[in-house]
Amino acid sequence: MSNISTKTFALAAAAAFATATPLALAPDLTPVAVAQNNQAVDVSKTGTLTINKQEGDPGAATGTVEGTEFTVERVQMTNGLNTAAGWTEAGEIVSAGAGEATIDTTFTAQTKATDADGVAAFTDLPVGIYKVTEKTNGNYTVAAPFLVTLPLTQQDGSLTYTPTVSPKNQKLDPTKAADDANANIGDQITYTIKAPVPAGDVLQDGSRTISQFRITDDLQQELTYVADSAEVTLTGADDTTLDEGDYTISNDGQNLTVEFTPAGLQRLETLRADNPGLTVQVVFKAEVNAIPANGKINNTANVYVPNRDEPIQSKPETEKDGDQDTNDTTTQYANVEVTKTLNGNPVEDGKTGDGAEFEIYPCAPEGEGYAVADGAEAIKGTATANSTELATTFTAQGGDVDSAKAAVASGFGMQLNPTVQYCAVETKAPAGYLVNPDPQLLTLTTEGTDTNRPVYTVAVNDVKDNIFGRLPATGERTMLYILALGLVLFGGGAAYQLSRRNA
């Protein structure tokens, strides 16, 4: 082959690869145009294409990625790469794009996953042009399919039949938070979605493309989107201005979609180039219209990024369930049962604790017991299972003297965070008994299921108001004064505790 023809295919190969390969997929040996290449392509050789999967932005790898699958397919060509016509054809194939390349069905495609070092090697590849397609791996971005020639021109103009390409991808972890404290039927929950923006497909000429960026949120039927409540902003860059035409917001009362327009995508491309922490934030409100039977209102956002069919799901910004085994941001409702005992007994002197009243508060350990913070709000619930009428005070009912069954105060559909402690506070004692002023810690006694809510229980004991009844008819006046003062102090302490709860 003449020097002219070898020079032609070397230049064509360099140009073809530079056009086809995003910077994020730049090989370790980047092809460049050279003035002279006296090597001829040996079509009898076979080559090896090694993919070194890396995590990070283009030019800034932070580690390797295991378990990413790649498929390598040979592209059909009329001319061989040992001819100038072959390189011209290769350039035309690359210009048309990987999506338009015709696959050579006589070649058996190879699919391999990267190992613990992030490496997948494809061996015994005949000389030609190949299409490389990356498959979805967890929350990592996916590079667009690309084309590469074997052999490949190196910087010094020589040819290599064993090139390495190093795709760099970002791991995207969208989060979702719920401001839902004590939200019940008729109340609103504020949700905040934070979706990191990917680097996109970056070409060797520095241009960058983010072909799509969309966030969807399909609300559970117990929630209704509050019209016009969605606000879209950017964080992670000095200039985070978004114009109204940069995105669209649509909803049907249940499902919310925020989609960036071509102008908005261009804005993201420009900002993302110098701001790896660029994040789209969507804040919106949803009204609670019912409490589900299992007590869980789950919510997960979906983020659609380039080159992936499946969305990346959000995870809770703050985990409520300890070991989080789902992506759901969950608002948890539970039932509460406060058993009323009298001097430690379910029934005393033919009486039950019927009529005692209680409120439920977040509480924390204090001394040998528990205390409710000043200004804390009583938790809302309903007095019957299917009611929508909310209350914060629950009355002990029932009980049976003959069977020695205690009265129970029940609260249904109360929004209890599993990581927070809650206490029952007695606000009214049954007739003839003193209010117990000490907050009593609730305990989870029945785990929630797919069809039933968790149940928290506690027993609150009262003692008889019988001090004066047991005093002798004639006695020391001083003893009467002391006992009367003790009763006043005890009642005052109880009143103080109640005032703190209701503050």
**pLDDT, the chain, mean:** 85
Which residue is it, tokens 């495609």? Answer: 109
Residues 145-190: tens digit of each pLDDT: 999 999 998 878 789 999 999 888 899 999 999 999 999 999 999 9
63 bridge partner residues:
55
Rounded to 5°, angle at Cα 14 from 128 and 19: 90
> What pLDDT does 56 receive?
87
Q: What CA dihedral angle connects 110, 115, 118 and 122, to 10 degrees?
A: -20
Residue 111 CA to residue 355 CA, distance in Å, equals 72
**Segment of 33-47, 101-115, 396-410 carrying the highest mean pLDDT:** 101-115
Q: Which two tokens stand for residue 274?
A: 């110098």
Q: Which of 174, 211, 176 is nearest to 190 (CA)?
A: 176
Architecture, CATH, for domain 331-470: Sandwich (2.60)
pLDDT digits (tens, 9 = 90+) for 98-143: 999 999 999 999 999 999 999 999 999 999 999 999 999 999 999 8
Reply yes or no on whether the pLDDT at 437 is more than 60: yes
Q: What is the pTM of this model?
A: 0.80
Task: Kindly give, in sequence order, each residue whose CB lies less than 8 Å from that of residue 225, ignoring residues fewer than 6 positions away.
Answer: 219, 251, 253, 254, 255, 256, 284, 285, 286
HEC string for 210-232: CCCCEEEEECCCCEEECCCCCEE
CB of 57 within 8 A of CB of 70? no
What pLDDT, in 10s, does the model give residues 319-376?
654 445 567 899 999 999 999 999 999 999 888 999 999 999 999 999 999 999 999 9
Decide: helix, strand or coil at residue 147.
Answer: strand
Element (H, E) at 292: none
Is residue 280 within 8 Å of 264, Cβ to Cβ?
A: no
Q: What local confidence, expressed as pLDDT, does residue 412 receive? A: 97
Degrees, nearest 5: CA angle 287-288-292: 155
Residue 394: strand, helix, or coil: strand
The residues spanned by each domain of the chain are: 46-169, 175-316, 331-470
Rounded to the nearest 5 percent, the helix, strand and coil shares of the chain are: 15, 40, 45
Place of tokens 């999506």: 99
Selection from 149, 152, 124, 120 nearest residue 134 by Cα:
120
Task: Please tell me the least confidently modeled range out of 135-144, 444-453, 466-475, 476-485.
Answer: 476-485
How many helices (H) and strands (E) the chain has is answered by 4, 36
Domains 46-169 and 331-470 share a fold: yes
Task: For residue 175, report the phi and psi dihedrals to the nearest 5 degrees.
Answer: -125, 160
* pLDDT, tens digit (0-9, with 9 covering 90-100), for 8-31: 333 333 333 333 333 223 333 333
Peptide bond into 362 cis (omega under 30): no
Candidates 231, 227, 251; CA nearest to 191 is 231
pLDDT at 456 over 70: yes
> Residue 261 and residue 206: Cα distance in Å, rounded?
22
d(CA 490, CA 503): 20
Of 315, 289, 256, give the one whose Cα is nearest residue 189.
Answer: 289
Cα–Cα distance, 378 to 358 (Å, whole number): 10
The CATH architecture that domain 175-316 belongs to is Sandwich (2.60)
pLDDT of residue 19: 31
Task: Categorize the per-residue pLDDT at 283 as very low, low, confident or very high, splitting at 50, 70 and 90.
Answer: very high
Q: How many CB atoms lie within 10 A of CB 214?
A: 16
**Confidence (pLDDT) at 4:** 30
User: Which of 3.40.630.30, 2.60.40.10, 3.30.1490.20, 2.160.10.10 would CATH assign to domain 46-169?
Assistant: 2.60.40.10
Closest CA to 338 of 436, 272, 433: 436
